[in-house]
Amino acid sequence: MGRVREIKAYKERWKRENPAYDREYRERNREYFRNYRKEYYANNRDKFLQYEAKRQHVRDGVDHDGTTRQEILAKTNGRCIYCKKVAEEIDHVWPRARGGPWTYDNLVATCWTCNRGTGGKFDRIVSDWWPQNSGIAWADLQPILMAAGISVAWMHDEIESQSDA
């Protein structure tokens, strides 16, 4: 193990002493690095997206319990919870913009159209978007969300506060 540390320390010291070489090497091999990143992303898309989600939540100071995209998609067998089309994205039921955490009970699988249609505006989701686009009234949607393991107690409080305003 000592030899490995020695080699690693030597490489780090050499890089510090020769910073121009690393820049020049990356510049000469720019196309290789670009293709490597593209290929890595294509082969590890879920891993990359999971990392990005966690990074954004940490940056914003929002909870992230490590729930994976696969776990969320499995909740609804890969179908959009709102319209039952093939799910492509993950949606926060309690919008991230309002402090919604990345937790199992706050995430649902959605198709692109449904995820973009909600726009992080809970009042608009409940009053306009769900009934018009999914054909499901809010009262009928509550059991669907609960069956997918999503707590709707906070939603009721949010609706009450919005109707009082």
How confident is residue 35, by pLDDT bands cut at 50, 70 and 90? Answer: very high
Domain ranges in the chain? 2-42, 64-164
CATH number for the segment(s) 64-164: 1.10.30
pTM over 0.75: no
Q: Pinpoint the alpha helices (H) of the chain.
A: 2-17, 19-28, 30-43, 45-60, 69-75, 112-118, 122-124, 130-134, 138-147, 153-164
How confident is residue 9, by pLDDT bands cut at 50, 70 and 90? Answer: very high
pLDDT tens-digit map of 59-118: 877 777 888 888 888 888 888 877 788 988 888 877 777 777 888 878 888 888 877 766
Check pLDDT > 80 for residue 130.
Answer: no
Residue 94: is it exposed, middle or buried by C-beta count within 10 angstroms (0-12/13-18/19+)? Answer: buried
